[in-house]
Amino acid sequence: MSTLHLVRQSAFATNDFAQCLSVLDHQDSIVLMDDGCYNLKHSLMDSLIKRVDGTININVISSHAQARAIETLTEINHIEMSDVVELTFNHKKVITWQ
């Protein structure tokens, strides 16, 4: 495992998620949190899911998505903050895209 990416911004508002995807490595993981949850419905997410075909671990914080009434996708893991802590130490480093 290499990098854990914490994505906190909507790709409809900023370029952060696109920049994250441009440095994404095949062993990395993504956590969508805060307005980053809106990326579940962004075309970048569709193409990411098609491109990586299950090799990238993509997660969303359940309460953050649920609070925003965002429907989730079957390809995405639903996690809690305690899982983010665990992921922090399962990866070599963390980059926050905010």
Partner 1 sequence: MKTLAVVVTTSPYSHLTITALTYVEAALVAGINVIGVFFYQDGVMHANEDISIASDEYQAIAHWQRLQQEYQLPLHVCITAAEKRGIACDSIDNEKINQIFTVSGLGELVELTTKASRLVQF
Partner 2 sequence: MTSTNQITTPDYPKETGLAIINSKAPFSSNHGKDALDIALIFGSFEQKVSLFFQGDGVYQLIADQDGSLVSIKDYLKTFSAFEFYDIEDIYVCQQSLVNRQLEEVFHIDGVQVQTSSEFSAALNAHQHVLRF
Note the residues at the interface with partner 1 (CB under 8 A).
6, 8, 33-34, 64, 80-82, 84-86, 88-89, 93-94, 96, 98
What's the DSSP call for residue 60? E
Asked whether the CA dihedral 5, 6, 12, 14 is positive or negative, the reply is negative
Q: How far is the CB of 6 from partner 1 (least distance, A)?
A: 8
Query: How many Cβ atoms sit within 10 Å of the Cβ of residue 56?
Result: 19
Q: In the bound complex, what is the minimum distance in angstroms from residue 98's beta carbon to partner 1?
A: 7
What residues line the site for partner 2 (CB under 8 A)? 2-3, 15-16, 19, 22-25, 92-98
